Structure 1
């Protein structure tokens, strides 16, 4: 699929399918007049007959026999007040999904982007089109490929806006990789499979890869991570992938992703109603950082060294699985009383964050499907953000908005640490139920080196969508890739 910015308008564009955005009420009177002038007054009459009100998300498809374009898509935008990049993304995704099908060739999209930064508008439209058309057919015995347009032209955007298209392919490829990893069943995406994915990225883009085996991790004192891994027959894989620029390094960044390829809960077994069958997506953080590294490696940002770290393993039940109540020692010497084996992600991240801190990065960002509490607090469209560093938090929120992802900064209240106190060890791995996502973030903070800017993103609610939303089809969303890539491309500010 090729994207182009075109100075053409809906009055003179020539192609197969034309998608036009319309506001409700009389706000799009000028646009309707242009449509009537080109296609005849019958267009307005057909809208009245079909009771098209241009509500947000509404779509009307009209076949225009003997005319070019042969198909006209009218996309409802709702009220003009508050219409911005998010509205543009949703409208573009609607147009893309309606504009496919047999005979899909060229698609022209005319949306009201006046007042929006042209490069940002072009990026939003192109990403929304490509990502909304993603279809995972890998596990079907008979694939059902969906036709997609060959060319997509963004009408009314000058050539200067085309700068926004330069990174779209790389970023979308990263999102699609993350979606495929998260969606795949746990018998396919294993710790070894994540290591193999990192190896493929390293080979394709000439990155450095180090994979630590169980013995290597034991030598480094990663007792917290290995405690989670010890119940599984599948060996753990500690993955360290590095991008280095060709020139001097101005900043060093670390991206850490939770890599639980399946989470049974351990001896605190997940029960009925806990969606144990969906715990394949507990490696959503690792999917996000692998997808981000794939995009970063292709885009080759100057002056930035980027490290990706994933402590991959399964959390299973066996005779060798860790007991509730066991005390383990992390690689920074802290002792942890495991009062809940289903709070395993933070145990793996603890040693991963210690490892990342030893690289002396200028900033560390971790992503994890960490707590159900975050899902309850923020729902399925907003991820939680915890950071003691205002600059890093603001940079990540801006990067998320740029990519159509949503973050909400949450508190790191020091007094909540009381809930993590243990009578036997330095700390417990879980606190009381109230404020569970906050105590989880406070737990992780203890494993980040002092004075290193750090942020934790809890993506438990955003990594999967049962029904699909906007540019995300039903299933794995690839959430976090766009945020991370945009943050890195902006210099990894902290």
Structure 2
């Protein structure tokens, strides 16, 4: 992984392959043209204050994500200047938005694949900017190459080039505790988010429920938290009808994994629940052609929960965090659950299965009830749950539902704070009626219209009474089928990891729940 350092060195004398600077669209009240962002003063001075004009001649506009390369001025040891767009220039008394810095750093890091070292001279006005730039670099430099010939051994990407080797963040103070802390947090969260991306990108013949559980056990041993794994025999004995019903059609048997991070001074408890369908064929309600190829990503919710718990442990947050990973493979076979079957869930409620491709809510239902038995201060579940949410919010925004308006709003605020687009969604009570069953307590399907909202209503049935709960449907942003953008790669994205970590931090300081 790319190494990050803080540096107060002068840009001109720094030995590197490139110097990354920021440029922005000037506001009408200050400058109508291209603006060189703070941090690049030395570079601009070496161009006699005409760097903006040179970049405009080359076609630069300052638009977010835009990247322009040009030779370094005389006297600089780095041969290349990389100018990356930050979008609109902030107001006179405002700082550059952390998300703009995060995305710009990600674009530059990806463009510098194959380089040994780069100096990032982006605007730094405090530890928040250091953290954002650090995250952007590490997330933008990510690539998944474990399945290529010798890929895991040499760390090289598809084009034969290794990721950027080192990024020196200019303006960062190596002896400043706040700067060092922000950088350390960025490294921890980014490493774990990238680990979640690896899991999402891993082929389903390698990442079975059993293999996923083993990965969590190894991480627990390394980072000092506890893991309990219930295999198929324990799930049957315990009455986990939802998880066993979904996983019963596969030779790769299901697992329920409980991750427990406890801080000795903590008096707050946050439970996280993740959908972990390691491959989703749809079961007997088989998905149509063209809808199967990316279904290895249906465990992205569990990957996010896993990454968040490990991050909390590594950061030493003063909060108890429990993660529940509901792991199963949804396959058609003679032992698979059928449309019309009735499952008795872990809570004791019965569910008529009308569509076996609505399986995520079934495994989550058991895990939510299990989490509720510990009476945490709040539960947040994360899942690639419904195509309806993609239709509603697109491929870059996840939906937030919940049983408490204030908590739902707080989760939304946390997501926006860390740069993860999200939107609050309602739970209309009239949709609940469509889930009534003639033979069971409820069915797993409701009306087609508002399907994502019905799924939230279904999950609410399995949250313990009086427990604050939120549901994140990350079906849209969890897997990027298009080209990379900002710090987001093609494939697994690690959606919701940063939101969950932030929620854990807020819970630790008593600002949530």
Distance of 2:430 and 2:220 partners within structure 1: 43
Report if aligned partners of 2:35, 2:89 keep a CA contact under 8 Å in 1: no
Per the TM alignment, residue 403 of structure 1 is displaced from its structure 2 partner at its CA by 2.4
2:89 is equivalent to residue 88 of structure 1: no
SS of alignment partner, residue 198 of structure 1: helix
RMSD: 2.2
Report if aligned partners of 1:243, 1:306 keep a CA contact under 8 Å in 2: yes
Q: Which residue of 323, 328, 338 corresponds with 1:308?
A: 323
Distance of 2:49 and 2:102 partners within structure 1: 29
2:493 is equivalent to residue 477 of structure 1: yes
**TM-score, with structure 1 as normaliser:** 0.92
Per the TM alignment, residue 98 of structure 1 is displaced from its structure 2 partner at its CA by 2.7
Distance of 2:49 and 2:401 partners within structure 1: 55
Q: Deviations over 1:179-226 (max 9, x none)?
A: 011111110110011110111111112221111122221222211221
2:98 is equivalent to residue 71 of structure 1: no
Map residues 78-477 of structure 1 onto 2, 5 A cutoff: 78-81=87-90, 84-102=97-115, 104-105=116-117, 107-112=118-123, 118-143=126-151, 144-145=156-157, 146-157=161-172, 159=176, 160-245=178-263, 247-273=264-290, 275-302=291-318, 304-466=319-481, 467-477=483-493
Per the TM alignment, residue 108 of structure 1 is displaced from its structure 2 partner at its CA by 2.2
Per the TM alignment, residue 150 of structure 1 is displaced from its structure 2 partner at its CA by 4.4
Aligned pairs, number = 485
Distance of 1:98 and 1:448 partners within structure 2: 45
SS of alignment partner, residue 441 of structure 1: helix
Distance of 2:203 and 2:147 partners within structure 1: 9
2:21 is equivalent to residue 14 of structure 1: no
Distance of 2:357 and 2:224 partners within structure 1: 37
Per the TM alignment, residue 408 of structure 1 is displaced from its structure 2 partner at its CA by 1.0
SS of alignment partner, residue 445 of structure 2: coil
Tell me which moved more, 85-94 or 24-33: 24-33
Report if aligned partners of 1:13, 1:108 keep a CA contact under 8 Å in 2: no
Per the TM alignment, residue 57 of structure 1 is displaced from its structure 2 partner at its CA by 2.0
Tell me which moved more, 364-373 or 18-27: 18-27
Q: Deviations over 1:239-277 (max 9, x none)?
A: 1111121x233012211110111111111110123x212
Change (3 A) 1:26 1:220: same
Long gaps (5+) in structure 1? none
Change (3 A) 1:282 1:15: same
Q: Which residue of 46, 58, 66 corresponds with 1:50?
A: 58
**TM-score, with structure 2 as normaliser:** 0.89
Change (3 A) 1:155 1:446: same
